[in-house]
Structure formats: structure tokens, C-alpha cells
């Protein structure tokens, strides 16, 4: 216990002395236990006051000191240093705050004095039990991290590096430069921003002490002051920047165009891009977000976005080649695919999906190129079945250099493509084109070879390294109702087969088709063309029909009647069919298929007179030709390993409908490709590589900006010409295809069309490059992440986003810039005309606490004056009108700059604008002139909104990683707005630029140099000292429950792996006390604020005076 304590009471001028009786305090505490000396002085924090304390320590041989004063945060170090120099441990000095906590809470001096006594008593009791402590000392890492590559980050990095300290500059975009690089000129000197900034950018890149990491972001920050451990995610540019020479050839061939962020959406850029010509580093980046929804939805993974982008560029052969990378049946699938890609197309969230399948057909028809005969020389593989799955497997095996022979039982190649789909949907020439392409890979196709008759599986196994069976599902499923064997009842697939083989098929005048799938619709449309009156009977509703909806629409348009919720009960007739007895159905709960189960309605039976019935309800595989060694499922399909497609017979694989049951053509293509990979893996020993990519889908904000454009309809022959089997859909012409392709939203940005690979001489492009996580140890961090503009879309009254001729300030900067989209000419976005009158609206969204931003951004008045002046310099007969609330010119030369603008003819109208709208090709502005008290209506050619600054979009997330705080507007808080304006409450972390609040360029550069100087001073220390008033653990009491670890907000707690009890990382601990409050056993205590101290402080605080 300390028994020789000195108490020193500060008057703080009159701040304390006017409401606290300082004489009474000295009198009271002169007799207080443990205090041997007490006195007061007018300014205890002054030099005389400090000398007074030092002298008394020596004279009275004090062992502890209590200073009753104000502002402990500011003065604590001052008094601690004084007692330390005088021989007392610095942590045996305590501050009793009797100003903020006492003298400003009352005007009654007695009450203030009583409260001051109570406060001082608690502090005296605390210091009596304080222990002498020593600061925790840590050697800092002599490396700095600067986050943000705008002018603030550039200046800070250069200053720190010029002091000889290794510096890492991290910028999340591909180039440093920030917003300043976008500006045309800077106020008030009208210097070219890039002219004065580019030398600094180049200096950063060339500085031997600066490691520049662009296209990178901070993932995580851990560690402690002076020893921060930072994880940086270096995003993949999908280009090897070591090889890239910046030639730009790739940019010239890229077919994808999206709005250019650097030009604020006023121009387009390609998916492979350089942000601007003077970019540092001067390298190209591929903007690739993952798989577009269309590609993700396609079972075969066809790159639809890629071939659509190539169609836009007029590269039809390249588009077809890209399609065939994943699907050899382009011509077939362009006509009869069920195109799940369109179901998932993001364009459907705006208006209608892209006509992806129709565009596929277009390139299949128009993108022909000479086929080169391939001669694979690898192992031999046999494929049984020349349907979509078999042909697909053969194709992908041949691409892997396998010699493939396909065995087909029929005389025709294509399976159900030729036997089951009518020619008005799928002409034979279209199938032939795809088969010729597949055969060009050296694949042999032998028709008329039936397994079990001509050759056996065992014989194939002897000759070939592997056998793939893909014989499809051709066997028809019966209804199993009375009369199904009557003459006139026809199986659907057999009926279509006969028609497609040009066999003689006779139908009566009235035909009923039973079923709701594509085969049923095809059979009905064929029967109609053969002269019958056709009715489809389907037991569920239209919504549940598995057939493609567009095919159902065509059937109805051709005069086919559909009876929904009807099921056949029996077929009528003695030998020859005469009719169908049916029953009406209602829908119940969903069944295994996910569709609602049809339930018969008793007593609803009725009859239909027909001459023929075509039963087309489903098919199943026929596996009789396979021996008993092949295991089957209860549905009659073959059992295979889902990972390898290996059957129960070694060396024999199977896929397609034979395994899955009836599926779509594109699913069969996918099954064939998977089988080829599995067979290759089995023969070569290579593992099948499965790649998963994020699905790139535009967010709601992007979709809102998309202009509506209707889907281009597929041209068709008129109904009057549909008597025969002429193809109904005639396909797009070139202009129509391009119009439809333009609607694509480029969801993934880069379409992976790979055109850039063809022209890159350094071979720098590599789509397999992955993000890198780089671990860095740094001692100090400068945060210079800059600002964004307030979302102008929020200002609906000004029409931004709806009116093309309403833009924001940064967009106008790009119009003024010589490197901008109009080469420095001021032209309207809507029609590229030169505006003769521009209205500038200041405080757009600012100084409006009820609706938008409460604060002023300081720079808007000046940049608007600059905009108006530069506009007048370019358009001499133009009129510039500025609506303002107040003109603020808080900077050197700013008032003169504003005066120059008015002298040059810029018109200022004081008042707010209430509405902006368009009429008769002009933008009309409604406002008020508050100086004359009149409403104002101005017709303008262009409106420019001066929107305020907000912190960059991920500011809060980064603040959490840095463990610093944000203010109400999410700008970062400084440690003290006057005395520590570039420091944060986390030592070693400093602020530079607009992340702390709106700033102009001179102020930003000055603060950046200030932050750099603080970082330099910090890193120049050999040791960093930390407060020792941290938590401790009583090992005898700790049970190792881990509660303290869970509640610690600074990750300063962990479990000792050997003792299985909690321990404290004293460097990380901030002494917040969370662990002490949570500890159930009392094992956690805080140095110099133990439970005993707190209890004694409470005891004396509540006792009567």
C-alpha cells in the first residue's frame, strides 16, 4: 500500500476553480489516509506546475502522485513523464478528472466540491494499491504499407520510401492514379492533372524502395502495433504481367464491350483492357467474373456468351469453332435443344432472355469453315451407338488423340435425331453437317452392326482398350390399358421412325395423341401434316407439360387441339380402334417428378371417336443385347459408377439415356463428354479435373441501368405452307443475329472466346492464373483509400439514370479531358451534339440531412466553377448557369478563381433546383432564385450535378480489419481533430486524403505527407512501447473454459496448449476488461485495476462525506 501520496489540484484557470472549492479539497485531503501532501495551483499542466510536482516529490519523498485536473487522455503522459523523471514509476501517477466529470455538471460550488472529493477519493484508493509497472517493448517491423493508389497514397508512399523505408503500395484497381487521373484540369491553377501526376506515378513504379501491388486488396490484418500481419489478395489479371509488353493487340480483337469505368460509363471498354493510356503499370487486365448463368446452366458447359460476343463482332467461323469446343452438334442443338441456358439468362430479369439457341443455329448455318481431316494415333476405343451421347464421346476422345470406331445398329447415323425428330424441326442436312464435322476427326462409323448379332461386347473388349455403350432409350412404354393391342393404336416412337424413314404410313381422319412430352407434340404435328384432325390428350395441365412450351405453341397454331386434365381409360373397338374412353382428372399434391399428381374424378368418364391413337408417353432402354454381367436398375437402365461411368463389367463404360433414362440432347452431349474424360482417365491414369467457378450474375443495380429491348423473333414459314415437312423456322439473317447478340449483358465480362490468345506474341495471356495470397509483415499503415461520389441514382428528382443528358461532375471531367471519350470536346451523351446551354446544380444530395448527405464536401463549389469556366473556354458562345445555395471558397486562390469565373460570364443563380425533366428534346430545370424570390424555369442542353464525396464502398469492412472507427458518414475517425488529425486510435495506423473526410488535392497531398512523416517517425524508433495495464490470468484459478477467448474483441486471448488454461498476448491486449467481466472464476484480472481496487473505489465513492 502506498502511504506517501501527493495530491496536486489544478484550477484549470477558472474552469475548475469557479465551480470547485480548491482550498477545501486541499484541506480535506491533507488529512486523508495515505496522503502526506496536498496543494493546488492555477495551471498544473504548465512548466511551473510540472516543476512544482517534481520539487514536491523530492522534498516529501513521495511514492505516488494523484493529479486532480482535466482531460486525462491529453494530460496523462505529461504528468507520467514528470513523475518518472523525478524517480517515481510512471504508472504510480493517476489522474482524477474533476473538470468534465464535476465542474461542468453543476453551477453549485458545494455540489461540485462534494463530487470532486468523491472522485479524488476513488483515485487515491486506486493508486494506493497500484503496482509499479514497466512498458511492454517491441521492435517494430521497418516496413510500411500504404493502402490506396490515388494521389494521397502515391505521395505518402514516395515520402516514406524517400526516407529509406521499404514501402508496399496496394491499389485495388489495375493502375494507380485514383480519381485525380480522371480529371481534366485542377483548380485553381488549371494545371493538367495527368501532366502533374504522371511523373509521380512513374516515380512510384521505378522507386527501389516501393513495392507496387496493383489489382490487389487487403484481405485481413492481424498482429499488433508495429508488427501488423497483413494478407493481401493479388487478384489475377489472367495475364502474366512479367510477359505483357502493353502492345494492345489483344484489345483490338476482344469482342466484348462494357461501360468504361474510367470514363464513368460515357464510353465502352473491352473485357481485356488497360485503364488509361498512362496507366502504371502499363499492363492489360482481363476482367473475368466467373461463369455466366447461361454457361453454368448448360449441361455441356457451352460458352454461349463467347459465341454471342463473336457474332456481335461478325466472327461467325470463330463463333462456331468456340461452340464446337463443348458441343459437336451445333447445327442440331441450334434447332432442337431445350436450351436451359435461356431459362437462366440474366437478360430475362430485364425483359426477355437472349435467343441463344437461335444464335447457335445462325453460326451453324453461316459459320462454315473448311474441315481438316485429323488422324489420331492413340489407343483404340469402341463406341456402341451413334446417337448424341455416342457421337459426343467419340468426338471428345478423338480430340484426345484416340482412334475411335462407332458401331450403329441402324443404317442411318444419329439415333433418335434421325429416327425420332421430324424434318420440319430438324432437317437431315443439319444432322449431316454435324456428323461430317465429327467424322473429320478420324472417327470411323460402322452402320448396320447390331451388338449380339454382328459382334459381341466381349469381342470388342479384346480389340479395343475401352468400350462405351450409348444405345439410348428406344423401347416404348405402354399404357397397359384395355384395347391397347387394337389395330389403329400406334406406338409414338415407332410412328415417328416410320415417317422419318419415309415408310408408308396410313392414318384415319381423326387421331388422338396421348402424352405431353416432345415426342407427343412431334407425333401430333406429323399426323396433322399427314392430313388428320389431331387431338392431344394430356392428364395434367399446360403448366406441367414436359414438352418445350414453344413447340406446344406451334402445335396449337397449326390447329391441333389439346385436351388437358384428361386420361385414357380404355381403347374401344372389337378389332379395329373406334374410340377412346377417357376420364377427367384433377391435380393433387406433387409426386416424385415434382409435378402435381393427376387424380381421376369419379363419374367424369366420356368417349372420343377416333380412327387412330398414337401413344407417346415415354421410352426406356432395351438392354437385352447385354449379358447378365451388366447390372440393371429397377427402371431397366444400366448401373454405372457415377464418378467414372464404369459399368459392372471391367473396361466397359456407359452413358446417355441408357443410364439416365430419357433425357435431352444437350444432356446426352454432356454425358458423352464426361464419358470421354472418364475413359481417358482410366487409360492414362490422369485424374479428371473438375473446375468450379463462381456464377457471374449482374446485380440489381446493373440490371436497372439496362435499356429494354425486345427479343428478336425467329422467322417462320406461314401456316399455309406447313402442309409438308419443310423446316418451319427459317433462321436469322446477319443483321437480325447481330441485333439479338447486342442484347447480351456480358454477365462474366470476359467471354473466354480466346481471340486474344491468337494475337498475343509474348504468350502472356493465361486464364488459369489464380489469385495469390501474399503475407506481409509491416510496422505502420497509411490508409489512403479515397472517395466515391454519392450515388446520383438516389437523386430521382434530377433524372439521373433516366435522362441521358443529366450527368455528374466526374462524367463532365471526362468530357473535358483530352484523353476522354470526346477528345476534350464538350458533347451531349444523347446525340453527340455540342450543348449551347449547360445548367450546373450544386449541392446535389449534399447539405440535405433529411434525405441525403448532411455535410458539405468542400470541393464542389470550386470544381463547378472550374467546369463552367472550361466549358466557356471550349464553347465560346455557350451559356453556363450555376444553381447554388452558398458559394464556398476555403483555400488559397479559391476566391479569386470564383471571381474569374463570374468575370468570364458564368451566371450564378442562388437557389435550389426542385425538378429536372425532359420535354421537346430539351432538359427543363425548375428552380427558384432566392435573391429575387421568384420561380425559375431554364431549358438546358445538358445538366451537370455537383455531387458530394462519400467514403469508398468497402470503407467499413477495411475499418474493421484495421480496428479503427468510422464516423456517422463512414469517414474514418482521427485520434483528435486538432492535435492528431492524421493519426487513428490504433497506434501505427494513419490517415491520408478523402477517407478521413472530403478534401481538395492540395489538402490531400499535405495530409498524405503528414501521415507519411508520422509513419517515418514511428518506424524510426528502435522500440515501440505499449501500455502494461493489461489483463492477467491467475493460473491457479483458471479452469480453461475459454469464455475469455470468445469475448476478447482484440484476439489477445488464446489457450496454452500444454497447460490448457488461458493466456494473454500482452501486446494485443487493450485493457478493455471484457474478459474480466466474463470470467466465472475470477482468474482474469487487470493490472492496476484489480477486483480489490474496484471494490475499494466503489466503497469510498458511495460513503457519506
Q: Tell me the DSSP string of 30-58.
A: HTSTTEEEEEEES-TTSHHHHHHHHHHHH
* Region at 232 (left for phi over 0; alpha for psi -120 to 50; beta for the rest): beta
**pLDDT above 70 (res 47):** yes
Q: Which of 574, 566, 568, 569 is nearest to 485 (CA)?
A: 574
Give mean pLDDT, residues 587-593: 87
Element (H, E) at 568: strand 566-572
Q: How many residues does the chain have?
A: 1105
**Average pLDDT of the residues in 361-383:** 94
- Ranges of H-type helices in 109-184: 109-129, 151-162
- β-pair type (35-41, 5-10): parallel
Cite the DSSP H helix spans in 859-948: 860-874, 894-903
Give me the mean pLDDT over the 227-244 stretch: 97
Mapping DSSP onto H, E and C, the string for 232-261 reads: EEECCCCECCCCCCCCCHHHHHCCCEEECC
Looking at residue 338, its pLDDT comes to: 94
Distance CA 892, CA 239 (A): 45
Has residue 211 got a pLDDT over 90?
Answer: yes
Burial label for 1006, CB within 10 Å (0-12, 13-18, 19+), is middle
pLDDT for the residue numbered 802: 87
Calculate helix-pair angle for 356-366, 734-742, nearest 10 degrees: 140
* pLDDT(1087) > 80: yes
What's the CATH number for 788-951? 3.50.50.60
| Confidence (pLDDT) at 1091 | 93
- Split at pLDDT 50, 70, 90, the class of 51 is very high
**Under 8 Å CB-to-CB from 250, ≥6 apart: which residues?**
272, 284, 756, 759, 760, 765
Domain spans of the chain, in order of start: 5-135, 143-235+776-785+954-1024, 478-617, 788-951, 1030-1086
pLDDT in tens, 493-524: 999 999 999 999 999 999 999 999 999 999 99
Common-topology check for domains 143-235+776-785+954-1024 and 788-951: yes
* Burial label, 860 (beta-carbon count in 10 A; 0-12, 13-18, 19+): buried
pLDDT tier, 392 (very low <50, low <70, confident <90, very high otherwise): very high
For all residues of the chain together, what is the average pLDDT? Answer: 95
pLDDT of res. 863 = 96
Residue 1105: pLDDT band (50, 70, 90) is low
pTM above 0.85, yes or no: yes
The pLDDT assigned to 689 comes to 83
Q: What is the pLDDT of residues 820-858, one digit of tens each?
A: 999 999 999 999 999 999 999 999 999 999 999 999 999
Q: Does pLDDT of 879 surpass 70?
A: yes
Distance between CA atoms of residues 861 and 575, nearest Å: 95
> Around Cβ 1068, how many Cβ atoms within 10 Å?
19
The pLDDT tens digits for 150-160 are 999 999 999 99
Per-residue pLDDT of 245-274, as tens digits, reads 999 999 999 999 999 999 999 999 999 999
Q: Residues 976-996: what's their mean pLDDT? A: 94
* Cβ atoms of 389 and 472 closer than 8 Å: yes
Do residues 568 and 520 lie in contact, with contact meaning Cβ atoms separated by under 8 Å? no
Confidence check: pLDDT of 93 > 80: yes
What is the model's pLDDT at position 1046? 95
pLDDT number for residue 101: 82
Give the pLDDT confidence score for residue 497 in this predicted structure.
95
- In this structure, what C-alpha cell is assigned to residue 414? 444419329
Q: Where are the alpha helices (DSSP H) in 602-664?
A: 657-660
443, pLDDT greater than 80 = yes
Contact 1023, 261 (CB under 8 A): no
pLDDT of residue 662: 93
Q: Which residue has the cell 428534346?
A: 921
State the greatest distance between any 2 C-alpha atoms of the chain, in Å, as a whole number.
Answer: 132
What integer pLDDT is reported at residue 1068 of this predicted model?
86
Reported CATH class of domain 1030-1086 = alpha beta
In this model, does residue 624 exceed pLDDT 80? yes
Q: Tell me the C-alpha distance between 572 and 574, whole Å.
A: 7
Res 772 pLDDT > 90: yes
> How far apart are the C-alpha atoms of 601 and 393, rounded to whole Å?
47
Would you tell me which CATH number, out of the four given (1.20.1050.90, 3.30.1360.120, 3.50.50.60, 3.40.50.720), belongs to the domain 143-235+776-785+954-1024?
3.50.50.60
The percent helix, strand, coil of the chain (3-state, each to 5) is: 30, 25, 45
Q: pLDDT tens across 326-341, in order?
A: 999 999 999 999 999 9
Secondary structure (DSSP) of 62-115: -SEEEEEES-HHHHHHHHHHHHHHTTS-GGGEEEEE-IIIIITS-S-HHHHHHH
CATH class entry, domain 5-135: alpha beta
Q: What is the DSSP string of 466-491?
A: EEEE-----EEPP---BTTTSBTEEE
Q: What is the rounded average pLDDT of the residues 1019-1035?
A: 93
CA distances, 980 to each of 973, 974, 985 (Å): 11, 7, 10
pLDDT over threshold 70, residue 946: yes
Query: Which residue, among 494, 562, 564, has the nearest Cα to 523 in the 3D structure?
Result: 494
Q: How far apart are CA 525 and CA 527, in angstroms?
A: 5
CA-to-CA separations, 514 to 488, 567, 609, 664, in angstroms, rounded: 13, 8, 14, 20
Rounded to whole angstroms, the Cα distance separating 79 from 71 reads 12
Strand partners, 1002: none
pLDDT in tens, 789-828: 999 888 889 999 889 999 999 999 999 999 999 999 999 9
Share of the chain above pLDDT 90, in %: 91
On the 0-12 / 13-18 / 19+ scale of CB atoms within 10 A, 555 is buried
Phi first, then psi: give them for residue 48, nearest 5 degrees: -60, -40
Among 1020, 958, 966, CA closest to 988: 1020
Mean pLDDT to the nearest integer, 734-754:
97
Dihedrals phi, psi of 164, to nearest 5 degrees: 90, 10
Predicted local confidence at residue 705, as pLDDT? 86
Query: Which parts of 835-933 are beta strand (E)?
Result: 837-844, 879-884, 907-910, 913-919, 922-929
Residue 1103: predicted pLDDT: 85
Residue 103 has pLDDT above 80, yes or no: no
DSSP β-ladder status, 257-259 and 227-234: unpaired
Say if CB 428 and CB 418 are below 8 A apart.
yes
Q: What is the CATH number of domain 478-617?
A: 3.50.50.60
Q: Which three cell numbers stand for residue 20?
A: 470547485
CA within 13 Å, CB half, 47 = 0
**Cell numbers 429536372 label which residue?**
916
CA–CA separation, 223 vs 231, rounded Å?
A: 11
Look at residue 1104 and tell me whether its pLDDT is greater than 80: no
Cβ neighbours around 943 below 10 Å, total: 29
Q: Is the pLDDT of residue 62 over 80?
A: yes
Amino acid at each position: 500500500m502506498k502511504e506517501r501520496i501527493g495530491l496536486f489540484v489544478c484550477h484549470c484557470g477558472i474552469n475548475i476553480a469557479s465551480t470547485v472549492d480548491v482550498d477545501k479539497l486541499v484541506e480535506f485531503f491533507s488529512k486523508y489516509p495515505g496522503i502526506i501532501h496536498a496543494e493546488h495551483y492555477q495551471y498544473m499542466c504548465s512548466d511551473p506546475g510540472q516543476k512544482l510536482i517534481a520539487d514536491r516529490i523530492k522534498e516529501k519523498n513521495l511514492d505516488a502522485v494523484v493529479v486532480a485536473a482535466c482531460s486525462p487522455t491529453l494530460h496523462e503522459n505529461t504528468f507520467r513523464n514528470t513523475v518518472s523523471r523525478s524517480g517515481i514509476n510512471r504508472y504510480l501517477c493517476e489522474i482524477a478528472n474533476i473538470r468534465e466529470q464535476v465542474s461542468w455538471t453543476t453551477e453549485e460550488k458545494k455540489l461540485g466540491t462534494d463530487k470532486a472529493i468523491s472522485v479524488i477519493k476513488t483515485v487515491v484508493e486506486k493508486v494506493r494499491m497500484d503496482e509499479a509497472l514497466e512498458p511492454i517493448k517491441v521492435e517494430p517491423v521497418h516496413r510500411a504499407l500504404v493502402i490506396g493508389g490515388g494521389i494521397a497514397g502515391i505521395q505518402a508512399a514516395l515520402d516514406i520510401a524517400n526516407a529509406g523505408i521499404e514501402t508496399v503500395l496496394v491499389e485495388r484497381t489495375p493502375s494507380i492514379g485514383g480519381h485525380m487521373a480522371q480529371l481534366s484540369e485542377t483548380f485553381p491553377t488549371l494545371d493538367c492533372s495527368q501532366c502533374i501526376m504522371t511523373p509521380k506515378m512513374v516515380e512510384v513504379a521505378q522507386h527501389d524502395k516501393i513495392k507496387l501491388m496493383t489489382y490487389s486488396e487487403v484481405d485481413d490484418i492481424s498482429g499488433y502495433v508495429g508488427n501488423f500481419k497483413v494478407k493481401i489478395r493479388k487478384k489475377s489479371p489472367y495475364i502474366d504481367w512479367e510477359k505483357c509488353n502493353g502492345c494492345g493487340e489483344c484489345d483490338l480483337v476482344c469482342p466484348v464491350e462494357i461501360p468504361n469505368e474510367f470514363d464513368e460509363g460515357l464510353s465502352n471498354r473491352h473485357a481485356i483492357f488497360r485503364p488509361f493510356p498512362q496507366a502504371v503499370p502499363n499492363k492489360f487486365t482481363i476482367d473475368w467474373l466467373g461463369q455466366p448463368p447461361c454457361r453454368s446452366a448448360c449441361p455441356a458447359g457451352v460458352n454461349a456468351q463467347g459465341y454471342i460476343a463473336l457474332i456481335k463482332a461478325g466472327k461467325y467461323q470463330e463463333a462456331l469453332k468456340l461452340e464446337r469446343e463443348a458441343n459437336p452438334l451445333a447445327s442440331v442443338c441450334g434447332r432442337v435443344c431445350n436450351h436451359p441456358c435461356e431459362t437462366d439468362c440474366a437478360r430475362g430479369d430485364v425483359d426477355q432472355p437472349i435467343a441463344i439457341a437461335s444464335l447457335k443455329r445462325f453460326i451453324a448455318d453461316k459459320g462454315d469453315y473448311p474441315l481438316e481431316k485429323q488422324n489420331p494415333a492413340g489407343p483404340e476405343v469402341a463406341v456402341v451407338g451413334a446417337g448424341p451421347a455416342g457421337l459426343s464421346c467419340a468426338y471428345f476422345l478423338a480430340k484426345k488423340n484416340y482412334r475411335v470406331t462407332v458401331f450403329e445398329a441402324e443404317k442411318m447415323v444419329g439415333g433418335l435425331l434421325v429416327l425420332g425428330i421430324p424434318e420440319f424441326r430438324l432437317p437431315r442436312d443439319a444432322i449431316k453437317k454435324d456428323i461430317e464435322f465429327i467424322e473429320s476427326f478420324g472417327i470411323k462409323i460402322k452402320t448396320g452392326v447390331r451388338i449380339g448379332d454382328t459382334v459381341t461386347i466381349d469381342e470388342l473388349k479384346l480389340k479395343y482398350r475401352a468400350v462405351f455403350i450409348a444405345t439410348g432409350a428406344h423401347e416404348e412404354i405402354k399404357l397397359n390399358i384395355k384395347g391397347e393391342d387394337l389395330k389403329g393404336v400406334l406406338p409414338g416412337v415407332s410412328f415417328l421412325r416410320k415417317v422419318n424413314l419415309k415408310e408408308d404410313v396410313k392414318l384415319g381422319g381423326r387421331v388422338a395423341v396421348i402424352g405431353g412430352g416432345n415426342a407427343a407434340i412431334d407425333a401430333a404435328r406429323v399426323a396433322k401434316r399427314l392430313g388428320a384432325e389431331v387431338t392431344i390428350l394430356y392428364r395434367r395441365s399446360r403448366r406441367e407439360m414436359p414438352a418445350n412450351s414453344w413447340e406446344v405453341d406451334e402445335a396449337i397454331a397449326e390447329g391441333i387441339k389439346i385436351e388437358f386434365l384428361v386420361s385414357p381409360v380404355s381403347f374401344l373397338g372389337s378389332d379395329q380402334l373406334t374410340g377412346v374412353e377417357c376420364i377427367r382428372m384433377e391435380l393433387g399434391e406433387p409426386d416424385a417428378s415434382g409435378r402435381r399428381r393427376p387424380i381421376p374424378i369419379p363419374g367424369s368418364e366420356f368417349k372420343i371417336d377416333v380412327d387412330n391413337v398414337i401413344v407417346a408417353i415415354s421410352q426406356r432402354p432395351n438392354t437385352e443385347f447385354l449379358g447378365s454381367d451388366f447390372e440393371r436398375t429397377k427402371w431397366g437402365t444400366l448401373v454405372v459408377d457415377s464418378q467414372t461411368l464404369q459399368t459392372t463389367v471391367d473396361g466397359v463404360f456407359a452413358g446417355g439415356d441408357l443410364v439416365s433414362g430419357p433425357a435431352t440432347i444437350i444432356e446426352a452431349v454432356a454425358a458423352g463428354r464426361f464419358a470421354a474424360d472418364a475413359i481417358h482417365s482410366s487409360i492414362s491414369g490422369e485424374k479428371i479435373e473438375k473446375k468450379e467457378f463462381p456464377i457471374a450474375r449482374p446485380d440489381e443495380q446493373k440490371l436497372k441501368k439496362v435499356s429494354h429491348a425486345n427479343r428478336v423473333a425467329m422467322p417462320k414459314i406461314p401456316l399455309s405452307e406447313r402442309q409438308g415437312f419443310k423446316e418451319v423456322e427459317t433462321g436469322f439473317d446477319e443483321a437480325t443475329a447481330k441485333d439479338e447478340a447486342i442484347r447480351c449483358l456480358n454477365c462474366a465480362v470476359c467471354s473466354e472466346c480466346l481471340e486474344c490468345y491468337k494475337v498475343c506474341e509474348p504468350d502472356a495471356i493465361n486464364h488459369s492464373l489464380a489469385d495469390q495470397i501474399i503475407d506481409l509483415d509491416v510496422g505502420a499503415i497509411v490508409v489512403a483509400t479515397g472517395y466515391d461520389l454519392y450515388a446520383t441514382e438516389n437523386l430521382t428528382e434530377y433524372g439521373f439514370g433516366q435522362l441521358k443528358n443529366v450527368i455528374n461532375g466526374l462524367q463532365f471531367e471526362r468530357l473535358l479531358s483530352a484523353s476522354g471519350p470526346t477528345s476534350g470536346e464538350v458533347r451531349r451523351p444523347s446525340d453527340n451534339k455540342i450543348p449551347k446551354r449547360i445548367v450546373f446544380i450544386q449541392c446535389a444530395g449534399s447539405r440535405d440531412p433529411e434525405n441525403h448527405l448532411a455535410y458539405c464536401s468542400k470541393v464542389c463549389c470550386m470544381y463547378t466553377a472550374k467546369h463552367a469556366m472550361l466549358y466557356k473556354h471550349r464553347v465560346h458562345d455557350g451559356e453556363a448557369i450555376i444553381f447554388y445555395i452558398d458559394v464556398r471558397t476555403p483555400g488559397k486562390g479559391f476566391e479569386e478563381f470564383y471571381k474569374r469565373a463570374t468575370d468570364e460570364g458564368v451566371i450564378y443563380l442562388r437557389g435550389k433546383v426542385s425538378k429536372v425533366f425532359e420535354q421537346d428534346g430539351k432538359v427543363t430545370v425548375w428552380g427558384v432564385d432566392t435573391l429575387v424570390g421568384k420561380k425559375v424555369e431554364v431549358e438546358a442542353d445538358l445538366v451537370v450535378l455537383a455531387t458530394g464525396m462519400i467514403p469508398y464502398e468497402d470503407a467499413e469492412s477495411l475499418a474493421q480489419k484495421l480496428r479503427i472507427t468510422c464516423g456517422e458518414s463512414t469517414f474514418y475517425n482521427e485520434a483528435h481533430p486538432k492535435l492528431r488529425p492524421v493519426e487513428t486510435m490504433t497506434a501505427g495506423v494513419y490517415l491520408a486524403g478523402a477517407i478521413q473526410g472530403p478534401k481538395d488535392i492540395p489538402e490531400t497531398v499535405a495530409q498524405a505527407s503528414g501521415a507519411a512523416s508520422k509513419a517515418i517517425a514511428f518506424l524510426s524508433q528502435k522500440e515501440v512501447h505499449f501500455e502494461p495495464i493489461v489483463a492477467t490470468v491467475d493460473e491457479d484459478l483458471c479452469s480453461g473454459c475459454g469464455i475469455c477467448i470468445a469475448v476478447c474483441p482484440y484476439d489477445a486471448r488464446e489457450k496454452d496448449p500444454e497447460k490448457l488454461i488461458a493466456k494473454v498476448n500482452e501486446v494485443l491486449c487493450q485493457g478493455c476488461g471484457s474478459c474480466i467481466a466474463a470470467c466465472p472464476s475470477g482468474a482474469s484480472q487487470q493490472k492496476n485495476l484489480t477486483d480489490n481496487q474496484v471494490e475499494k473505489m466503489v466503497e469510498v465513492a458511495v460513503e457519506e462525506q
